[in-house]
Homo-oligomer: A and B are copies of this chain.
Amino acid sequence: MTENIYAGLTQLGGSTVQPKSPEEAVLERVPNPNPGAAYCVRFTAPEFTSLCPITGQPDFAHLVIDYVPGDWLVESKSLKLLLTSFRNHGAFHEACTVGIGKRLADELSPVWLRIGGYWYPRGGIPIDVFFQTGEPPKGVWIPSQDVPTYRGRG
């Protein structure tokens, strides 16, 4: 019964062209099958990479996205393609993380959304960026992301 909500999708299950930039990537969504339920969905994406806008060198991050759906769920393959589309895109850590969070919030109109960007160290110092669209809604359970702290060596 829940399957037909995927009827309008164009990327899932077909052969896919990798989008070359975030602008080219198309985020797809399906109706929330449990619109009355208070629940949170988490995606963990340890395979994120983008480019430094100054030097062109690759940057890497471990991203964790939590959201409380409103009318829509994000289709997970299109989310993956959106993340992949940053592969050749230059952006600073803060702007990149917050930007992904804002785009998801804009296109999904969730009740609430949070993104944690845990970037690999540069100059011996990693940067983490923690963005959310506002205070978490009451009555919804949103566990800690609990990504281990960076520890250097030893």
Contacts and interface: CB of A to CB of B under 8 A. Distances in A.
Interface of A: 2-3, 6, 12-13, 18, 33-34, 37-47, 49, 53-58, 60-62, 64, 73, 76-77, 79-80, 83-84, 87, 90-92, 94-95, 97-98, 101-102, 114, 116, 118-135, 138-154
Contacts of A49: 47, 49, 58, 60, 87
Given A124-B120, A127-B42, A92 B2 contact: yes
A13 B120 CA distance: 19
B2 A46 contact: no
Contacts of A64: 149
Q: How many monomers of this protein are in the complex?
A: 10
A143 B130 CA distance: 8
Nearest to A9: B54
B146 A44 contact: no
Contacts of A56: 18
Nearest to A95: B2
User: Could you say which of A3, A62, A142, A151 has the most chain B C-beta atoms within 10 Å of its C-beta?
Assistant: A151
Given A41-B127, A147-B153, A60 B34 contact: no
A60 B152 contact: yes
Contacts of A133: 38
